[in-house]
Amino acid sequence: MAELATIARPYAEALFRIARSSNMSAWAETLSVMAHVAAVPEVGAMSRDPRVPRDVVVKTFLDASKLDVSAEVKKLVEMLVENGRLSLLPSIEHHFHELKNAHEQTADAELVTAFPISDAQLSSLMTVLEKKFGRKLNPTVSVDPQLIGGVRVTVGDEVLDHSVSARLERMHTALVA
């Protein structure tokens, strides 16, 4: 995995430099779509098959992406296909997203709740979390009834687990010890 990150990072950095001078959000969206298409097993198999001409792989990939393809995007895909690195797109997208967040001084926050929360509750929670983490957060909310109650927040490598199940687990550990 470290090798893939080492190879993908320069591509992401180059794309980030291009995106900073144009539309960063559009590039992020394009990379996200392309990463999802590149992760499809059939696409990977096709890109590695030596019997399939490279121009066919490029055209098929771009058609499957269903994007308005700029010359820069086409050149990127051609270069990745030519070098046998189309499978790096998910890793490239990940590194690009990290660079974008650092540039915008934001972070992704994964919120897992026991029950669905309203927009007002989410807004209130995000205000508190943004103060705690000292930056703007981009929330992704999911529901896990096994939490019983409360919320678990993951920002980068930090986890705040204020769920009932975590409290019960801590109580169990304290009683057993």
Identify whether residues 93 and 114 lie together within a single domain: no
Identify whether residues 97 and 111 lie together within a single domain: no
Among 81, 101, 121, the domain boundary falls at 101
Identify whether residues 39 and 9 lie together within a single domain: yes
Mean pLDDT of 1-12: 83
Mean pLDDT of 41-50: 93
Residue 35 sits in a domain of what CATH number?
Answer: 1.10.520.20
pTM for the full predicted model: 0.79
Q: Give CA–CA dist 87/43, Å, rounded.
A: 9
pLDDT band at 70 (very low <50, low <70, confident <90, very high): confident
**How confident is the prediction for the chain on average, in pLDDT?**
93
Domain count along the chain: 2
- Residue 112 identity: V
Among 78, 101, 124, the domain boundary falls at 101
Mean pLDDT of 19-32: 92
Of 7-11, 69-73, 78-82, the least confident: 69-73
Identify whether residues 75 and 115 lie together within a single domain: no
Among 101, 122, 142, the domain boundary falls at 101
Identify whether residues 53 and 124 lie together within a single domain: no
Identify whether residues 20 and 90 lie together within a single domain: yes
Identify whether residues 92 and 9 lie together within a single domain: yes
87 within 8 A of 44, measured Cβ to Cβ: yes
Residue 85 has a CB neighbour count (10 Å cut-off) of: 18
**Beta pairing partners, 107:** 137
68 within 8 A of 75, measured Cβ to Cβ: no
Identify whether residues 125 and 78 lie together within a single domain: no
Alpha-carbon torsion angle 36, 142, 118, 160, nearest 10:
-120
Burial class (CB in 10 A: 0-12, 13-18, 19+), 3: exposed
pLDDT at 79: 94
Identify whether residues 135 and 51 lie together within a single domain: no
Identify whether residues 128 and 171 lie together within a single domain: yes
Mean pLDDT of 116-120: 95
Question: Domain span at residue 91?
Answer: 2-101
pLDDT at 22: 87
Structural tokens at position 15: 């794309």
pLDDT band at 5 (very low <50, low <70, confident <90, very high): confident
**Beta pairing partners, 110:** 140, 154
Distance of CA 41 to the CA centre of its chain: 19
pLDDT at residue 2 above 80? no
pLDDT at 68: 79
Identify whether residues 82 and 131 lie together within a single domain: no
Identify whether residues 21 and 40 lie together within a single domain: yes
